[in-house]
């Protein structure tokens, strides 16, 4: 960079502002002492001066679009017109990047002004090229070349000029792997002008690289406005050019994609003849079929598939269901979303699978709000009428005694509804023990409630999640199960408190009905993606599997996070399991029990625990985004049994119900007996084990049997303590559900941790016995895994199967019994907000759909409640503790847990699909307090590992560090202890470093969130502009 005086600064400013007279005067003053101004050294130096950014006067004149100033400097011959600024931009590049003077908002600039700017840019670029500007330095990938910017702004003549000079510019990609054509149809630009540029690029590609005679003639006609024609002046040079085959194929696929966007058969056919596949991914992981489906080019899609019919190896069903790579969705999803009925009809005809989930976890037809598309689905698929699919998704279960009261509450809701329909069908159960109230909400009412509640719904037009606007409902995706439940519960809670009704036994239960078809789809998708899902955490790449999001969409975020955590933990067990197996085999083969690798393995596990937790936080952040929980708020759910006092809030001065001082002491009162109970249970258990193991000589078989008994006893005492912990929560009078759950987690996990590992701590620190510690730790691991699988999968499955068998048997008898007429008459009436009573043909006793629906309601009622996630997480966090703290004693623990967790994953999901009552979906952003538990046990594990090595593995430690024969055992033990203290501090230091270095949020999530925030701001600005314009029209 050159340093310059004030006058020379004025020269750069004048070049920016286009003040040619000032520039001439300034340069004349600098060269007044020279005979020939053109050869003046002062003139040469003044023109070459550059600022902090490395830009000289020519750069600024070109950047600001001052043709006369650029021409003046070129006439002086005092500048290298190919010189670059600090960012590598020449004057030619700068005129393509900007090329105009005014600081204007390009989005509101007038069309005429745009044409003038484009013409100026063309003239300056042409002048620079005529005077010797080169493009050779831009013929490389990973930078934006001048053609990128010409395409971005839609400068047609500039595009022609650059391609006339060097057509190879169109083959180069920028740092985002975009060809110039890829950025020619950006949003916010003049689409007609941009399409003209795109068409020209495709014609140029066909004429120049594919040597299409038809397009050579077409190119000549397009280049009539140019002073030179490529095919007139440079014919020999063109035919000598060769293109790298790999790059040629890559760029060809992109040009086929954009030709499909335009829907021009004359551009598509030559590319197909060159064997560019319309099914191969190109632009952003989409192919030409996706592009044609988005724009509704049905003839083009027919051409793609008919052109491959002659190929016997061509599998139509495989290729028609290809998903996009970014934001996975099939061509059918795209066509349905855009409402292109002809395309949808053809795709279904040739075998498109309408059951596939897209990136929003919806099947193709489920994502559309269009009535025409819904009618088309019915006509094409000939599906049997399904009452659950038609909207009867939620059930209230009331007692016979509360029938009139519940009906009155539902009548009150229907009276308030003015838009759409609220329906509730009262059904007496087959055994007359209760009443079912099946709730349905019409689309109009859903839209109204979603708008009123400001629900966050995905807008596929803008590509962001934003507040729902019922006036633009057609631009939003259809509501998910989660949204449907929110809407129904919002209407119900507006009239009566369901939790209070449950507490007062006026309602027995309320739950969403299972959709049998969708359950099968989720389970099949899980089986397809299971191994990919388990491999993903170790690949450190963005999650591509859609099963977790499908589980969340159907069962809710809490269940979704649970399965994500379980699969993530299972995958990360591969890291300690593989070296653990190798170490175990080595010890067994060499009979070296005191292997020096054991302490190293133990310390490494402490570091593994920290890395696991840090990457779990990243995974959790990623899934929060994919579950759409970043736009949701976790609401505090009030407990109906809470009894508080009225207080005046200090800040808002509003009256609120809060704890009394007396209630705060209840927590400590309830904890004291629980602590005593814990001491009794743990002490009694350990004393019993001590006396039993003393009954006979300790053999390996006897120790295993005793360990099995102790493992079973630990699980039983855990359940006993959990029962009393739940009773204590009722006494403590908690106000909010999440507060109650946190207290319950602390109580349950604290006891389970001490109870489960008390004996292991004793044998590793107080009375070290490496052999017993080895047997006990692996035995506990296996026994607990078997008992967990039995408790949460096998036993509930057997219970449900028995209940279902007797239900089906009794139900068949009931349908044929003497109560049929009475039952059917009660079924026929329907509560509706438009009429008092009406007969619903869907509930005709003769229809198979009615019988199937009624059976489904009864089966949903007998399903087991959703398993307590506290119990589930407690078990799996205890597994994490076992791996972290006691794998030194038995290196087979990680592989044992890994194998059992693989079985558990299938079993638990099968349970949720088969016999678990569908939970009510609630917003959850994470696994909550369990994150803190993981962090704490990670630090505890480091300390326990060091103590275990010191007390139970002294010989292994001596083999690692070295044993000094001259020193006594006490001195050697002291040395080992001090070294382990140092190692423990080093490991904890490493843990802190890891926590600092690894960010909690993946970079791509941060980037996408910022992008969505920007798009949301732009959308709100457009809404404000539209609102102000409509107000002006009203005033006029």
Q: What is the tens place of the pLDDT at every residue in 124-173? A: 999 999 999 999 889 988 899 999 999 998 899 999 999 999 999 999 99
Task: Determine the Cα angle at 282 with ends 278 and 288, to 5°.
Answer: 30
Distance CA 999, CA 618 (A): 7
Lowest-confidence segment of 356-370, 532-546, 876-890 by average pLDDT = 532-546
Angle between helices 969-997 and 954-961 (to 10 degrees): 80
So what's the pLDDT on residue 127? 93
- Asked whether 351 and 317 are in contact (CB, 8 A), the reply is yes
**Domain residue limits, the chain:** 1-104, 135-276, 277-383, 394-513
More confident site: 745 or 654: 745
Distance CA 395, CA 13 (A): 74
pLDDT interval class at 1025 (50, 70, 90): confident
Nearest CA among 569, 570, 575 for reference residue 613: 569
Q: What is the tens place of the pLDDT at every residue in 828-884? A: 444 454 444 444 545 555 566 677 888 889 999 999 998 888 999 999 999 999 998
Nearest CA among 27, 29, 118 for reference residue 75: 27
Q: Tally Cβ neighbours within 10 Å of residue 5.
A: 9
- Asked whether 477 and 460 are in contact (CB, 8 A), the reply is yes
Q: Which two tokens stand for residue 349?
A: 């005809």
- Asked whether 101 and 18 are in contact (CB, 8 A), the reply is yes
So what's the pLDDT on residue 92? 92
Task: List b or e across 428-459, with b for residues whose CB sees 16 or more CB atoms inside 10 angstroms.
Answer: bbbeeebbbbbbbbbeebbbbbbbeeebbbbb
Mean pLDDT of 678-688: 91
Is residue 472 packed enough to be buried (19+ CB in 10 Å), middle (13-18) or exposed (0-12)? exposed
Among all chains, which residue has been given the structure tokens 């759910």?
A: 637
So what's the pLDDT on residue 913? 93
So what's the pLDDT on residue 543? 76
- Residues in CB range of 923: below 8 A, 6 or more apart: 557, 629, 632, 633, 634, 635
Q: Tally Cβ neighbours within 10 Å of residue 667.
A: 16
pLDDT of 972 higher than 70: no
pLDDT of 576 higher than 50: yes
Q: Which two tokens stand for residue 257?
A: 């994609």
Is residue 370 packed enough to be buried (19+ CB in 10 Å), middle (13-18) or exposed (0-12)? middle
Bridge-partner residues for 386, per DSSP? none
Lowest-confidence segment of 55-59, 134-138, 467-471, 533-537 by average pLDDT = 533-537
- Asked whether 612 and 574 are in contact (CB, 8 A), the reply is no
Mean pLDDT of 438-461: 90
- Sort residue 424 into left (φ over 0), alpha (ψ -120 to 50) or beta: beta
- Residues in CB range of 429: below 8 A, 6 or more apart: 435, 436, 858, 861
Q: What is the tens place of the pLDDT at every residue in 62-90? A: 999 899 999 988 888 888 888 998 988 99
Bridge-partner residues for 638, per DSSP? 736
Q: Which two tokens stand for residue 395?
A: 């059930």
**3-class SS at 763?**
helix
So what's the pLDDT on residue 49? 81
Distance CA 568, CA 486 (A): 29
Is residue 526 packed enough to be buried (19+ CB in 10 Å), middle (13-18) or exposed (0-12)? buried
So what's the pLDDT on residue 632? 79
Mean pLDDT of 483-494: 89
Q: What is the mean pLDDT of the chain?
A: 82
- Backbone phi and psi for residue 392, each to the nearest 5 degrees, phi listed first: -85, 85
Dihedral over alpha carbons 503, 505, 511, 516 (to 10 degrees)? 150
Mean pLDDT of 612-627: 90
Q: Which two tokens stand for residue 27?
A: 């340069």
Same CATH fold assignment for domains 1-104 and 277-383: yes
DSSP state of 176: T
Distance CA 936, CA 945 (A): 14
pLDDT interval class at 536 (50, 70, 90): confident
Mean pLDDT of 168-185: 90
- Asked whether 910 and 904 are in contact (CB, 8 A), the reply is no
Among all chains, which residue has been given the structure tokens 């701590």?
A: 761
Lowest-confidence segment of 37-41, 237-241, 687-691, 861-865 by average pLDDT = 237-241
Task: Determine the Cα angle at 106 with ends 101 and 107, to 5°.
Answer: 165
Residue 526 has, within 13 A of its CA and on its CB side, a CA count of 24
**3-class SS at 266?**
helix
Q: Which two tokens stand for residue 889?
A: 């004693």
More confident site: 895 or 370: 895
Nearest CA among 608, 583, 578, 582 for reference residue 594: 583
- Asked whether 329 and 371 are in contact (CB, 8 A), the reply is no
Length of the chain: 1036
pLDDT interval class at 645 (50, 70, 90): low
Nearest CA among 520, 521, 485, 510 for reference residue 860: 510
- Asked whether 129 and 92 are in contact (CB, 8 A), the reply is yes
So what's the pLDDT on residue 644? 67
Distance CA 939, CA 884 (A): 10
Distance CA 338, CA 370 (A): 10
Q: Tally Cβ neighbours within 10 Å of residue 722.
A: 19
Residue 429 has, within 13 A of its CA and on its CB side, a CA count of 22
Nearest CA among 854, 878, 851, 869 for reference residue 916: 869
Helices (H), 475-633: 481-495, 498-503, 516-539, 547-555, 557-572, 574-590, 597-626
- Sort residue 659 into left (φ over 0), alpha (ψ -120 to 50) or beta: beta
Q: Which two tokens stand for residue 478?
A: 């259809």
CATH architecture of residue range(s) 1-104? Alpha Horseshoe (1.25)
Distance CA 139, CA 590 (A): 62
For domain 277-383, give the CATH superfamily: Ankyrin repeat-containing domain (1.25.40.20)
So what's the pLDDT on residue 395? 92
pLDDT of 119 higher than 60: yes
So what's the pLDDT on residue 235? 43
- Asked whether 172 and 218 are in contact (CB, 8 A), the reply is no
Is residue 1025 packed enough to be buried (19+ CB in 10 Å), middle (13-18) or exposed (0-12)? exposed
Task: Determine the Cα angle at 159 with ends 158 and 163, to 5°.
Answer: 115
- Asked whether 283 and 298 are in contact (CB, 8 A), the reply is no
Secondary element (H or E) of residue 658: strand 655-658
pLDDT of 303 higher than 50: yes
Residue 187 has, within 13 A of its CA and on its CB side, a CA count of 6
So what's the pLDDT on residue 967? 52
More confident site: 796 or 598: 796
Among all chains, which residue has been given the structure tokens 């909010």?
A: 736
pLDDT interval class at 676 (50, 70, 90): very high
Secondary element (H or E) of residue 655: strand 655-658
So what's the pLDDT on residue 230? 45
Q: pLDDT over 70 for what percent of the chain?
A: 82
Q: Which two tokens stand for residue 978?
A: 């001090």
Longest Cα–Cα distance of the chain, Å, equals 123
Q: Which two tokens stand for residue 485?
A: 């439940």
pLDDT of 526 higher than 80: yes
Angle between helices 869-886 and 770-789 (to 10 degrees): 160
Residue 790 has, within 13 A of its CA and on its CB side, a CA count of 8
Among all chains, which residue has been given the structure tokens 């979704």?
A: 560
Q: What is the tens place of the pLDDT at every residue in 826-841? A: 444 444 544 444 445 4
So what's the pLDDT on residue 35? 45
So what's the pLDDT on residue 822? 45
So what's the pLDDT on residue 67? 92
Task: Determine the Cα angle at 828 with ends 823 and 829, to 5°.
Answer: 115
Q: What is the tens place of the pLDDT at every residue in 307-356? A: 877 676 788 889 999 999 888 899 999 999 999 999 999 999 999 998 88
So what's the pLDDT on residue 668? 74
DSSP state of 806: H
Nearest CA among 186, 179, 225 for reference residue 202: 179
């Amino acid at each position: 960079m050159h340093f310059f005086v004030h006058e020379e600064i004025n020269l750069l400013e004048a070049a920016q502002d286009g003040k040619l007279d000032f520039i001439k005067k300034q340069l004349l003053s600098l060269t007044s002492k020279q005979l020939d101004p053109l050869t003046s050294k002062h003139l040469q130096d003044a023109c070459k001066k550059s600022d902090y950014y490395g830009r000289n006067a020519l750069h600024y004149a070109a950047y600001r679009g001052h043709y006369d100033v650029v021409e003046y400097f070129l006439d002086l011959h005092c500048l290298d017109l190919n010189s670059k600024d600090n960012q590598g931009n020449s004057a030619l590049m700068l005129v393509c990047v900007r090329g105009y003077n005014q600081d204007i908002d390009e989005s509101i600039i007038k069309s005429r002004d745009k044409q003038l700017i484009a013409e100026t840019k063309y003239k300056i670029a042409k002048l620079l090229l005529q005077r010797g500007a080169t493009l050779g330095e831009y013929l490389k990938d990973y930078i934006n070349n001048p053609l990128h910017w010409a395409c971005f702004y839609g400068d047609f003549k500039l595009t022609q000029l650059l391609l006339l000079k060097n057509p190879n510019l169109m083959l180069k990609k920028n740092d985002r792997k975009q060809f110039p054509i890829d950025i020619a149809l950006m949003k916010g630009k003049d689409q007609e002008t941009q399409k003209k540029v795109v068409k020209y690029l495709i014609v140029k590609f066909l004429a120049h690289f594919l040597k299409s005679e038809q397009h050579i003639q077409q190119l000549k006609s397009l280049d009539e406005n140019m002073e030179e024609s490529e095919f007139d002046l440079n014919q020999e040079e063109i035919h000598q050019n060769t293109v790298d085959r790999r790059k040629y194929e890559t760029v060809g696929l992109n040009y086929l994609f954009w030709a499909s966007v335009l829907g021009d058969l004359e551009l598509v056919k030559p590319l197909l003849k060159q064997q560019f596949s319309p099914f191969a991914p190109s632009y952003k992981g989409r192919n030409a079929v996706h592009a044609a489906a988005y724009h509704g080019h049905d003839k083009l899609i027919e051409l793609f598939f008919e052109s491959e019919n002659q190929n016997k190896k061509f599998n139509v069903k495989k290729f028609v269901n290809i998903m996009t790579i970014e934001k996975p969705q099939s061509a059918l999803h795209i066509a349905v979303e855009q409402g292109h009925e002809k395309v949808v009809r053809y795709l279904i005809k040739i075998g498109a699978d309408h059951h596939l989930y897209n990136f929003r976890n919806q099947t193709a037809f489920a994502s559309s709000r269009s009535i025409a598309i819904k009618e088309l689905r019915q006509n094409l698929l000939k599906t049997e009428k399904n009452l659950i699919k038609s909207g009867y998704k939620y059930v209230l279960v009331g007692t016979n005694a509360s029938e009139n009261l519940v009906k009155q509450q539902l009548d009150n809701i229907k009276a308030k509804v003015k838009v759409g329909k609220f329906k509730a069908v009262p059904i007496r159960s087959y055994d007359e023990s209760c009443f079912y109230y099946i709730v349905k909400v019409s689309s109009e009412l859903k839209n109204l409630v979603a708008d009123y509640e400001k629900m966050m719904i995905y807008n596929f037009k803008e590509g962001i999640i934003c507040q729902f606007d019922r006036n633009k409902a057609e631009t939003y995706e259809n509501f998910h199960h989660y949204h449907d439940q929110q809407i129904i519960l919002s209407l119900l809670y507006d009239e009566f408190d369901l939790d209070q009704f449950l507490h007062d036994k006026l309602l027995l239960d309320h739950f969403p009905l299972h959709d049998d078809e969708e359950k099968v789809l989720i389970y099949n998708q899980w089986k397809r993606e299971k191994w990919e899902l388990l491999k993903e955490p170790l690949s450190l790449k963005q999650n591509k599997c859609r099963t977790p999001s499908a589980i969340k969409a159907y069962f809710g975020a809490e269940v979704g996070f649970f399965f994500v955590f379980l699969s993530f933990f299972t995958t990360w067990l591969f890291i300690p399991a593989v070296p653990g197996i190798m170490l175990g085999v080595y010890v067994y083969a060499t009979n070296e029990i005191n292997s020096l690798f054991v302490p190293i393995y133990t310390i490494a596990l402490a570091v593994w625990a920290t890395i696991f937790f840090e990457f779990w936080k990243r995974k959790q952040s990623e899934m929060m985004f994919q579950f759409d929980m970043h736009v949701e708020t976790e609401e505090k759910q009030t407990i109906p049994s809470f009894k508080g006092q009225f207080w005046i809030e200090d800040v808002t001065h509003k009256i609120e119900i809060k704890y009394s001082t007396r209630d705060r002491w209840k927590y400590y009162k309830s904890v004291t007996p629980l602590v005593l109970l814990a001491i009794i249970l743990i002490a009694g258990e350990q004393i019993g084990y001590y006396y039993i193991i003393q009954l006979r000589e300790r053999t390996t078989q006897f120790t295993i049997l005793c360990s099995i008994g102790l493992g079973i006893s630990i699980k039983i005492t855990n359940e006993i303590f959990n029962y009393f912990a739940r009773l204590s929560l009722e006494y403590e009078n908690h106000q909010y559900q999440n507060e109650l759950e946190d207290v319950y987690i602390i109580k349950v996990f604290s006891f389970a941790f001490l109870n489960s590992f008390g004996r292991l701590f004793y044998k590793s620190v107080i009375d070290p016995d490496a052999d017993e510690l080895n047997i006990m730790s692996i035995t506990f691991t296996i026994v607990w895994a078997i008992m967990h699988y039995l408790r949460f999968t096998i036993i509930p499955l057997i219970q449900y199967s028995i209940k279902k068998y007797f239900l089906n048997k009794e139900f068949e008898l009931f349908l044929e019994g003497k109560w049929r007429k009475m039952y059917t008459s009660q079924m026929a009436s329907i509560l509706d907000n438009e009429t008092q009573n009406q007969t619903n043909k869907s509930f005709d006793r003769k229809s198979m759909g009615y019988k199937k629906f009624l059976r489904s309601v009864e089966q949903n009622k007998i399903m087991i409640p959703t398993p307590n996630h506290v119990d589930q997480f407690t078990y799996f966090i205890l597994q994490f503790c076992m791996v972290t703290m006691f794998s030194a004693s038995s290196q087979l623990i990680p592989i044992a847990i890994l194998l059992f967790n693989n079985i558990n994953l299938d079993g638990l999901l099968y349970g949720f699909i088969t016999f678990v009552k569908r939970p009510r979906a609630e917003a959850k952003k994470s696994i909550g307090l369990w994150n803190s538990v993981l962090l704490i046990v990670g630090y505890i594990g480091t300390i326990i590992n060091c103590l275990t090595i010191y007390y139970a593995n002294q010989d292994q430690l001596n083999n690692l560090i070295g044993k000094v024969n001259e020193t006594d055992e006490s001195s050697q033990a002291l040395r080992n202890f001090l070294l382990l203290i140092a190692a423990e501090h080093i490991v904890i230091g490493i843990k802190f470093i890891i926590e600092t270095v690894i960010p909690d949020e993946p970079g791509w999530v941060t980037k996408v969130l910022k992008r969505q925030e920007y798009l949301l701001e732009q959308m709100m600005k457009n809404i404000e502009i539209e609102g102000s314009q409509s107000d002006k029209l009203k005033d006029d």
